[in-house]
Amino acid sequence: MTHALALLLALAMQPPTSPPADTTAAAAPAAAEAPAATPADDDCLMCHSDKELTTTLGNGETRSLFVDPATIKASVHGGALGCLDCHAGFDEMPHPTTSFQTKRDVSVAFQEQCTHCHFATFKKTLDSVHHVAQARGDTTAPLCTDCHGAHNVASPSKPRSRISQTCAKCHAGISTVYSKSVHGKALVDDDNPDVPTCTDCHRSHDTAGPHESDWRAHTPEMCATCHGDKQVMDKYGLSVAVHQTYLTDFHGVTARLRGSRDDSSMPVIARCTDCHGVHDITKTDDPNSPVLKANLQKTCQRCHEGATESFPDAWMSHYEPSWSRTPLVYAVTLGYKFLIPFMIGGLILQILLHIWRVVVNR
Amino acid sequence: MSATYERFSLRQRLEHIAMMTLFTILSVTGLPQKFFEATSSQWIMDALGGVDRARWFHRAAGIAFAVLAIVHVWGAVWEVVVNRSRLTMVPTKQDFRDAIRTLRFYLGVEPSPPRFDRFDYRQKFEYWGLIFGAIIVIATGIVLLYPVLAARWLPGEFIPASKVAHSNEGLLAFLVVIVWHIYNAHFSPDVFPFDTSIFTGRISEERMHHEHPLELERLVSHSSGHTNNAPHP
């Protein structure tokens, strides 16, 4: 019963990015029966509890065939899946012969087993950069088990910092940079639930990155999922106007009108990360922040070659035009707010009077 | 076939056609940038091949517009200084009196409208509105085209202020043309359906009598017959 409870708990704690729909299907019968280990498992363990049990692969690599039942028991699948659920066909004795050349071949072949229960999630991975790498023949591209583990599958986001640790297995450089950023530090030091971890921006199964123009084009929306949320931003004294003011500025308008047409052949149009940084993002008042007044000229120069000291004043720092901050912009805006209706209203009035006179004089 | 008078020189007619073409290009490529949230804007941008290409057209047309403005001002100054033409486009006190009298006539206070010379107050208003509008859009357009260069001489805040002024002035000009100019050139009962004189260069004696009686009187008194050498502005 405790196993069933633990399983249900694990399911309830699943990150929202992986839909539970496909996992519950597998979990339901298990929750009802909740056997600690099927008799079949005990049969398997007769041999596989032997720590010395190995097999030799085609390329001469030895692979351990030892299974620690405690590991499986502690995993999210503990009590739910038996050996044969993943290792189908291995109930035959002797086991069917396989022709695996490398350990990696074994892992690739067994990925298929995950899809039996987690098909929807697996389908999502087909849209990921990792799948693209795999399709190109990159054998290091991650399989289910590379991120989730095999016998030791645990909830990937408990604690949340586990997510970035998982990605760091391959993306160590980026992970180091990230862990020093305002987001990463809060995640690592305080297990802050509000800061984004890798998968919040790059997604978990349909993982995407900046080489995908559509993903890059949606950077502002991505940042705005948190930076446009007043409840979250109020906690940190941050403004939610950042998104809207960006969208109505020249950069934002261009980004929006380009939409997903945007690609690397076009001149770069600044999105959030182009000024604020990406994995190395800092607080805006950090002395190293690229958007700090003292550093802004240099930041502008990345695109605007030769930008002088007064050039960054062209950027209104995510503020709406106001009399106190940008009096000229404010005055011009206000002036036209009156001039246009006054002028056009007057002309329309004169036209109507003219028509009326013509009608009356007929 | 009734007698006609020359109202616009070939140069003026060509300037009008150039102006009309450039104004259309600038409006089509410019307004969707101002109203970027409208779905029709997205549609126009896509039809033009994206915002970057639309901007290229906008900038090319803007530069041509600036050249046209210079050509026009040069021509006007030449006419006045070298050819000693009459200052027919300069607003006078009489124009303000005419405007008030027209309104009084529309409201039924005056029995008849004022009698106009070569250009009435409405035409002068539109002409000078265009001149001042052109100065604003050309100046701010240069700032927006070369923001880095502009910030070398001007405070940085001039750049967003220029953007506000440029787009609003463009919108104002567009609305004046759509509402006022189209009415006066097409829908006004005086000219409906089409005032052709800016394209043919000629205006009928009947319309001269009706719309520019003072000019007609002067022309008649200067020569016994009709003349084809009506003064340029």
Residue A108 identity (one-letter amino acid): V
Q: Does the beta-carbon distance from A254 to B107 stay under 8 Å? A: no
For range B217-228, the mean pLDDT: 68
pLDDT at B181: 93
Minimum distance, in Å, between the CA of residue B154 and any CA atom of chain A: 8
**pLDDT for A80:** 86
| pLDDT, one tens digit for every residue, chain A (362 residues) | 344 444 444 444 444 444 444 444 444 444 444 444 455 788 888 889 888 998 888 888 888 999 998 898 899 998 888 888 888 878 877 888 888 888 888 888 888 889 889 999 999 999 999 999 989 989 899 999 999 988 988 888 888 888 998 999 999 999 999 999 999 999 989 889 999 999 999 998 999 988 888 888 889 999 999 999 999 999 999 999 999 999 999 999 998 888 777 777 788 889 999 999 999 999 888 888 898 888 999 999 999 999 999 999 999 989 999 999 999 999 999 999 999 999 999 999 999 999 999 888 87
pTM of the model: 0.80
Name the residue ranges covered by the structural domains of chain B: 4-222
Chain B nearest C-alpha distance from A278 (Å): 25
User: How far apart are the CA of A276 and the nearest CA of chain B, in angstroms?
Assistant: 20
What is the predicted pLDDT for the residue at B224?
Answer: 53
Tokens of B185: 């050139």
Mean pLDDT for chain B overall: 90
Q: Contact A328/B158, CB-based, under 8 Å?
A: yes
Q: Domain boundaries in chain A?
A: 2-155, 157-207, 209-314, 326-362
Q: Sign of the C-alpha dihedral, residues A141, A144, A145, A149?
A: positive
| Closest CB to A332 among B165, B172, B175 | B165
CB B61 within 8 A of CB B137: no
* CA nearest to A347 within chain B: B180
- The ipTM assigned to this model is 0.89
Judged against a pLDDT cut of 90, whether residue B96 lies above it is answered with yes
Q: What is d(CA A342, CA A58) in angstroms, rounded to the nearest whole number?
A: 85
B202 SS3 class: strand
pLDDT at B204: 87
Token pair listed for A289: 């922040």
Q: Which amino acid is at B76?
A: A
- B:92-131 residues touching chain A, CB 8 A cutoff: 103, 105-108
Q: How far is CA A251 from CA A175, A220, A258, B14, in A?
A: 29, 11, 11, 38
CB contact under 8 A, A351 and B32: no
pLDDT at A39: 55
**Looking at the domain covering B4-222, what would its CATH class be?**
mainly alpha
Q: Interface of chain A against chain B, CB under 8 Å?
A: 250, 253-254, 256-259, 261, 266-267, 304-308, 310-316, 321, 326, 328-329, 332-333, 336, 339-340, 343-344, 347-348, 350-351, 353-358, 360
Do A155 and A76 touch, CB atoms closer than 8 A? yes
Q: Contact A228/A240 with Cβ under 8 angstroms?
A: yes
Q: Does B73 touch chain A (CB under 8 A)?
A: no
Answer for the pair A197, A164: CB distance below 8 angstroms, yes or no. Answer: yes
When pLDDT is cut at 50, 70 and 90, the band that residue B191 belongs to is confident
Residue A230, token pair as written in the block: 């007043």
Q: Is A297 exposed, middle or buried (0-12, 13-18, 19+ CB in 10 A)?
A: middle
Test the A interface: residue of B123, B132, B157 with most A CBs within 10 Å: B157
Query: Higher confidence at residue B218 or residue B15?
Result: B15
| Residue A217: per-residue pLDDT | 85
| Cα gap A22→B29, rounded to integer Å | 50
C-alpha B50/C-alpha A271 separation (Å) is 18
Query: Within a 10 A sphere around the Cβ of B3, how many other Cβ atoms?
Result: 11
Chain A, nearest residue to B165 by Cα: A332
CA distance A86 to A44: 13
Dig out the tokens for A257 from the structure: 């009108």
- Alpha-carbon gap, residue A78 to A171, rounded angstroms: 30
Pairs across A and B, CB distance < 8 A: 113
Distance from CA of B36 to the nearest CA of A (A): 7
CB B99 within 8 A of CB B121: yes
Counting other chains too, the contacts that B104-108 makes at CB distance below 8 Å and 24 or more residues apart are B105/A357, B106/A350, B106/A353, B106/A354, B106/A356, B106/A357, B107/A353, B108/A357, B108/A360
Q: Which of residues 180-209 of B touch A (CB under 8 A)?
A: 180, 183, 188-189
Query: What does the block give as tokens for A12?
Result: 């309830």
